Amino acid sequence: MTTARPQSLPWPYEAKEGWLYCQGVRLADIARQWGTPCYVYSEAAILEAYATLARPDPEGRSARICFAVKANSNLAVLRILARAGAGFDIVSAGELRRVLAAGGHPERVVFSGVGKSIHELRYALEQGIGCINVESLAELDQLASVASSLKRIAPISIRVNPDIDAQTHPYISTGLKENKFGLGIQDALEGYKRALKNRHLRVVGVDCHIGSQITTLKPFQDATQRLLLFATDLHGLGIELEHIDLGGGLGICYHDEQPPSADELKNQGLQMVANWAQSTGCKEPQVVFEMGRSIVGAAGLLLSQVLLLKPSSDPEAKHFAVVDAAMNDLMRPSLYQAWHDLMLLHPSQPKAELRRWDVVGPVCETGDWLARDRSLGLFEGDLLAFASAGAYGSTMGSNYNSRPRPPEVLLRESGQVDLIRRRETFEDLIELEKIPRDLWD
């Protein structure tokens, strides 16, 4: 059984006399103004998380941070990060267009993904992308021919699959040989040899990404070690790497996880790469990280309201609190059995009886739950927040059950409150659809 209040609210969210605030703004007021469900993000929290990763280590070395756009692709969020100097990790032409629309620099973008279309490769090259992280030999060949047709030279890195167990949920583990991502060491070596022979390809780096929500340093250390051994082989081929991209994946605390700090992870990577360069005599490559969750995860909340309560008189049965947010708004619990802390936005009403509630949405799926077995004192109409919903929340949303997507609100460092995505309307939902005229006959 769990308590109503989380152990600690991520900064700069705080509870004062039972009310939740973010830098002087009362979140219940946000919920009333913009309605629920509603995502809110703290600009200060995003900037702080980015700055921690971007600042130099004790030796004065720093990594290039490419924000993984899939974690939160709202244009205002991308703009905040672009303005802070971030690069971006993208997986589609759509994400690249978002980065460009937010004023991001294409040369600071790395393009990951196991299935890029010819159209996407062409678009990325035309825009002057910084690096294409190639994930198969077939992609390497396709890219070479697209580059040749454009009379351009494609900057590439090959994503190595280091066969390391990231010890995370199987759906978000990517660095095992049974996963579809990247190339095994032997195939990657073949890829680099091929690239060297092709004048339309320019090797600029090597990369890996072993998974997401990783909560210990060891898998990162093992993957970096593998990558560096491989970099020594590349050196033997005459390749001088401009960068070494250690991927993303740093976990955050949703419940009781104790992930390493961003500083620990960054310093470990920088140190290992520096030691490698020193011991091999290679030029020290720029270290790149592709972090998503650790930059925006704790900065966001999903606000919701209790629609009704369904306590059961059967002692064996569950008590359900039905809220107005659902799996289509926040899919992580349904998909990964993920935990999001849950808290009231206002003081608990004096007569609220504590019960163990399953907090569920209105969607017609048994899997539509957001929190299970939480001890809360609830009444209809209570306002709630699901914590740490800034990453893979809104971006994984859908319109299932013809539910309009929620708005997104940005709490600015200045105290200003900005609507950065309006709530969808019914008209938005049907905009792309058409009934053929004869169906009315």
Q: Where are the alpha helices (DSSP H) in 303-355?
A: 332-336
As measured in angstroms, the least distance from the Cβ of 138 to ligand LLP is 18
The residues with which 160 forms a beta bridge, in sequence order, are 183
- Region of 46-54, 191-199, 241-249, 374-382 interacting with ligand LLP (CB under 6 A): 241-249
Candidates 50, 192, 220, 392; binder of ligand LLP (CB under 6 A) is 392
- Whether 412 and 30 have beta carbons less than 8 Å apart is answered as no
As measured in angstroms, the least distance from the Cβ of 220 to ligand LLP is 11
394 binds ligand LLP (CB under 6 A): no
Q: Which residue has the tokens 């947010």?
A: 325
Candidates 42, 72, 112, 173; binder of ligand LLP (CB under 6 A) is 112
Q: How is the chain split among helix, strand and coil, in percent rounded to 5?
A: 35, 25, 40
Name which of 203 and 291 has its Cβ closer to ligand LLP. Answer: 291
- Region of 51-59, 198-206, 291-299, 365-373 interacting with ligand LLP (CB under 6 A): 291-299
Please, how many CA atoms are within 13 Å of residue 250, restricted to the half-sphere of its CB? 29
324 binds ligand LLP (CB under 6 A): no
Active site residue 66: no
As measured in angstroms, the least distance from the Cβ of 171 to ligand LLP is 7
248 binds ligand LLP (CB under 6 A): yes
Name which of 30 and 65 has its Cβ closer to ligand LLP. Answer: 65
Candidates 40, 44, 71, 158; binder of ligand LLP (CB under 6 A) is 71
* CA-based nearest residue to 130, from 151, 114, 153, 146: 153
What are the tokens at 28?
A: 């219940």
As measured in angstroms, the least distance from the Cβ of 254 to ligand LLP is 9
Name which of 161 and 212 has its Cβ closer to ligand LLP. Answer: 212
Strands (E), 170-230: 201-207
Strands 154-159, 131-134: pairing kind: parallel
Name which of 122 and 332 has its Cβ closer to ligand LLP. Answer: 332
Strands 354-360, 109-111: pairing kind: unpaired
Candidates 45, 46, 68, 344; binder of ligand LLP (CB under 6 A) is 68
What are the tokens at 204?
A: 């600029």
What are the tokens at 185?
A: 């060491």
Name which of 320 and 336 has its Cβ closer to ligand LLP. Answer: 336
As measured in angstroms, the least distance from the Cβ of 230 to ligand LLP is 17
CA–CA separation, 77 and 420 (whole Å): 9
As measured in angstroms, the least distance from the Cβ of 318 to ligand LLP is 25
246 binds ligand LLP (CB under 6 A): no
- Whether 88 and 78 have beta carbons less than 8 Å apart is answered as yes
- Region of 56-64, 93-101, 290-298, 320-328 interacting with ligand LLP (CB under 6 A): 290-298
* CA-based nearest residue to 299, from 18, 50, 28, 31: 50
- Region of 20-28, 43-51, 292-300, 433-441 interacting with ligand LLP (CB under 6 A): 292-300
* CA-based nearest residue to 108, from 130, 125, 134: 130
CA–CA separation, 84 and 50 (whole Å): 8
172 binds ligand LLP (CB under 6 A): yes
As measured in angstroms, the least distance from the Cβ of 395 to ligand LLP is 8
CA–CA separation, 332 and 8 (whole Å): 21
CA–CA separation, 369 and 364 (whole Å): 11
- Region of 145-153, 234-242, 372-380, 390-398 interacting with ligand LLP (CB under 6 A): 390-398
CA–CA separation, 304 and 333 (whole Å): 15
Q: By rule CB under 6 A, what count of residues binds ligand LLP?
A: 22
CA–CA separation, 439 and 122 (whole Å): 40
As measured in angstroms, the least distance from the Cβ of 96 to ligand LLP is 14
The contact pattern for ligand LLP, residues 205-224, with x = CB under 6 A and - = no contact, is ----x--xx-----------
- The one-letter amino acid code at 141 reads D
Candidates 43, 139, 242, 290; binder of ligand LLP (CB under 6 A) is 290
Please state at what angle helix 137-150 crosses helix 185-196, rounded to 10 degrees: 20
Contacting positions for ligand LLP (CB under 6 A): 68, 71, 89, 112, 172, 209, 212-213, 247-250, 290-294, 332, 336, 391-392, 396
Positions annotated as catalytic residues are: 364
